[in-house]
């Protein structure tokens, strides 16, 4: 009996160790904000804040954008605190959400909207804590948002297009 009980305790210890290691590994590879950027969109001026994140879970995500201009932070847009928002931004702010990116669009952006903007992400039932990132925004120092580049780094389709164009020319399907 003593040997069987000892073996059972040893197996339980291994099970607990493996469970602990897996939970730590999962926590290190969960949601986190990878970048927070701001730019002006045309026509406008319209402020766009991009909150990019890494998310390895399918749990629904909640977000909140705030601005602080030296006093109490004002909630611009939130799915975390649904009933709390500033009237100043109520009809001017809108979100755009895709997996890995939450954007804040702020219409009629002017100098009085300058301040420290914060993106807060929260995934219920996730092992990580809320993720928060902030960026200082001044109207005269913002760049215009760039368009979509055909030659983004990490994209292989332009190279494939050039190769296939050569094959189409060689096959006589395209002529110049």
For the cut 70, the answer to whether the pLDDT of residue 121 exceeds it is: yes
The strand pair at 93-98 and 101-106 is best described as antiparallel
Return the exposure string of 25-50: e unless at least 16 CB atoms fall within 10 Å of the residue's CB, then b.
eeeeebbebeebebebeeeebbbbbb
Confidence of residue 163 (pLDDT cuts 50, 70, 90): low
Backbone angles phi, psi at 160, to 5 degrees: -65, -35
**Strands across the sheet containing 46-54:** 32-41, 46-54, 101-106, 93-98
Q: Is the pLDDT of residue 10 over 90?
A: no
Q: What pLDDT, on a 0 to 100 scale, did the predictor assign at position 68?
A: 96
pLDDT 10s digits, 13-51: 554 454 444 444 444 455 688 999 999 998 878 999 999
User: In the chain, where are the structural domains located?
Assistant: 1-30, 31-143
Q: What is the mean pLDDT of the chain?
A: 77
Residue where the block lists tokens 């001044």: 138
| pLDDT-above-90 percentage for the chain | 39
Torsion angle of C-alpha atoms 61, 62, 68, 73, degrees rounded to 10: -150
Token pair for residue 26?
């999962």
57-97 pLDDT tens trace: 788 889 999 999 988 899 999 998 887 777 888 889 999 99
Query: What is residue 122's predicted lDDT score, i.e. its pLDDT?
Result: 87
The CATH number assigned to the domain with range 31-143 reads 2.60.40.10
Average pLDDT over residues 147-166: 51
Q: What is the pLDDT of residue 2?
A: 65
Map residue 93 onto helix, strand or coil: strand
The predicted pLDDT at position 86 comes to 79
pTM for this entry: 0.66
**Residue with more model confidence, 162 or 60:** 60
pLDDT level of residue 8 (50, 70, 90 thresholds): low
């Amino acid at each position: 009996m003593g040997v069987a009980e000892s073996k059972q305790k040893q197996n339980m210890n291994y099970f607990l160790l493996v469970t602990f290691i897996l939970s730590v590994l999962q926590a290190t590879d969960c949601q986190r904000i990878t970048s927070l950027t701001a730019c002006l969109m045309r026509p406008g001026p319209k402020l766009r804040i991009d909150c990019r994140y890494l998310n390895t879970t399918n749990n629904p995500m909640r977000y909140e954008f705030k601005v602080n201009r030296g006093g109490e932070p004002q909630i611009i847009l939130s799915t975390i605190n649904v009933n709390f928002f500033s009237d100043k931004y109520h009809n001017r702010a809108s979100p755009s959400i895709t997996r890995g990116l939450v954007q804040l669009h702020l219409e009629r952006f002017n100098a009085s909207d300058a301040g420290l903007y914060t993106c807060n992400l929260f995934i219920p039932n996730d092992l990580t804590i809320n993720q928060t990132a902030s960026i200082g925004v001044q109207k005269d120092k913002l760049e215009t948002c760039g368009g979509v580049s055909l030659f983004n780094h990490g994209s292989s389709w332009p190279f494939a297009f050039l190769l296939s164009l050569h094959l189409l020319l060689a096959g006589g399907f395209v002529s110049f």
